[in-house]
Amino acid sequence: MLSFRFMEPMEETVYLDQVRLLAIDHPVAYEVFPNERFVSAPPFPEFGVIATRDAHVPIGAWTTREMTCWG
């Protein structure tokens, strides 16, 4: 059995016209991530998946204007 739960973080009502479940067969060495952007009005984001191998988690982020580092 498969259960799908859609959650709306903004506590608003969202109506869906279509929902699809997609299975992607990929080599074990790859990780596959969906384009998770959800937009309720046009222009809608283009469908896509991102496949990566040996990805590294960022250790921090900063801007060139401020030398404050998050990480």
Is residue 60 predicted with pLDDT exceeding 80?
yes
Residue-range definition of the domain harbouring residue 37: 8-71
- Give domain status of residue 55, yes or no: yes
Torsion of CA 7, 11, 43, 37, to 10 degrees: -40
Residue 2 lies in a domain: no
pTM > 0.75: yes or no: no
| CA–CA dist 35, 48 (Å, integer) | 6
Q: Of all residues in the chain, what percent carry a pLDDT higher than 90?
A: 15
Give 39-51 pLDDT, tens digit per residue. Answer: 778 888 888 888 9
With 0-12 / 13-18 / 19 or more C-beta atoms within 10 angstroms meaning exposed / middle / buried, residue 50 is exposed
The total of structural domains in the chain comes to 1
3-class state of residue 53 by DSSP? strand
